[in-house]
Amino acid sequence: MQATLHQLKVFEATARHGSFTRAAEELFITQPTVSSQIKQLSKAVGLPLFEQIGKRLYLTEAGAELLVTCQDIFQRLDNFEMKVADFKGTKQGCLRLAVITTAKYFIPRILGSFCQRYPGIDVSLKVTNHQQIQTRMQNNEDDLYIVSQPPEDLELTYQPFLENPLVVIARRDHPLANWPQVPLAKLNNEAFIMREKGSGTRQAVQQLFAQYGVEVQVRLELGSNEAIKQAIIGGLGISVLSEHTLISEGPHSELAVLNVEQFPIQRRWYVAHLSGKQLSVIARAFLEYLLEESQKMPKPSSLLRSNVLIPAHVSP
Ligand code: PGA
């Protein structure tokens, strides 16, 4: 097969976008150049690579197989470039991370100091919920993942590195905010703001409520921790969120952590990657850096207590 690396790049971009035009835009070439490169590549393969139905392009079976091969080749070439940079004593290349929503409260800070140490690195950071991360893992889209619950049906290598407790959050003037200990049953019939389907937080909350027969009234579903905090302040109800979501709240926060029985739900963050994946030099460097730096981070509850978000009578 007489395919050039350039043709493979054009093919990969076209397959990713499902469009000749968008591939042309990304690669700064014209649309007719893209279609002629694809035509030549199909000729070299001896089979069509795309089917056009309406305006949309679909990969044929041969096209899908070629896409996997291209992704493998480009990843190896990227790794090779990073290794060469490493041999030369510099770290260069791209680090692809995907993290669950709660990790956005600390990962950008760690990334900041990591990038200062290695200025030649580009970072792509995707922040999304548990289910979306799982899909990205299945598609081998990133180098490293941060999750609270490593999916069991995927072959992953992972290690825990920080606690990620889930707590009950209410508005500061909520009647239960001054209770030294709130029985779990008190949550029955409370107006509740729930994270969206596919969220790991939601899964953990529903599991605990089902186990103890708690029936809250779900008034609102929201796909963002920050939006939930605003909805609590707006008086729409209480919710359960990671304690880390409160880290930037100051002493005048309008939120309080309720001291409810069975809470916090103890969870941890794990840094994970696909077991078969050969980690790039940069991904390995970041993994080590993350494990080292996270040991130095204060626990969220110590920050919260100093911010008086937890009622004063709760002993530290
Ligand atoms: P979620 O995950 O964004 O899917 O709720 C957060 C977590 O599990 O800590």
User: What is d(CA 316, CA 310) in angstroms, rounded to the nearest whole number?
Assistant: 9
Q: Is 199 a pocket residue for ligand 1 (Cβ < 6 Å)? A: yes
User: What is d(CA 17, CA 178) in angstroms, rounded to the nearest whole number?
Assistant: 54
What pLDDT, on the 0 to 100 scale, is given for residue 213?
93
- Measured in Å, residue 159 CA sits from the centre of ligand 1 at 17
Q: What is the mean pLDDT of residues 166-193?
A: 93
Nearest to 300 by CA among 169, 159, 143, 114: 169
- Measured in Å, residue 240 CA sits from the centre of ligand 1 at 11
User: What is d(CA 249, CA 270) in angstroms, rounded to the nearest whole number?
Assistant: 25
Please report where in the chains the tokens 């990591």 appear, as a residue.
114
Interval 181-232: pLDDT, tens:
999 999 998 999 999 999 999 999 999 999 999 999 999 999 999 999 999 9
Percent of the chain with pLDDT over 90: 71
What pLDDT, on the 0 to 100 scale, is given for residue 301?
59
Q: Is the peptide bond before 165 cis (omega within 30 degrees of 0)?
A: no
Q: Which domains does the chain have, with CATH numbers?
A: 5-70 (1.10.10.10), 76-163+268-301 (3.40.190.10), 166-267 (3.40.190.290)
Mutate to test the pocket of ligand 1, among 106, 107, 195, 228 (most ligand atoms within 8 A of CB): 195
Contact between residue 268 and residue 146 where contact means Cβ atoms under 8 Å apart = no
What pLDDT, on the 0 to 100 scale, is given for residue 308?
43
What pLDDT, on the 0 to 100 scale, is given for residue 185?
93
Interval 27-69: pLDDT, tens:
999 999 999 999 999 999 999 999 988 878 899 999 999 999 9
SS3 77: helix
- Say how far residue 262 (Cα) sits from the centre of its chain: 27
User: If you write DSSP's letter for every residue of 258-282 in order, what string do you get?
Assistant: E-BTT-SBP-EEEEEEETT----HH
Mutate to test the pocket of ligand 1, among 126, 128, 130, 229 (most ligand atoms within 8 A of CB): 130
Contacts of 62 (CB under 8 A, 6+ apart): 45, 47, 48, 49
pLDDT at 300 over 80: no
Q: Which ligand 1 atom is nearest residue 103's CA?
A: 9
Q: Is 242 a pocket residue for ligand 1 (Cβ < 6 Å)? A: yes
User: What is d(CA 143, CA 7) in angstroms, rounded to the nearest whole number?
Assistant: 25
Average pLDDT, the chain: 89
What pLDDT, on the 0 to 100 scale, is given for residue 178?
87
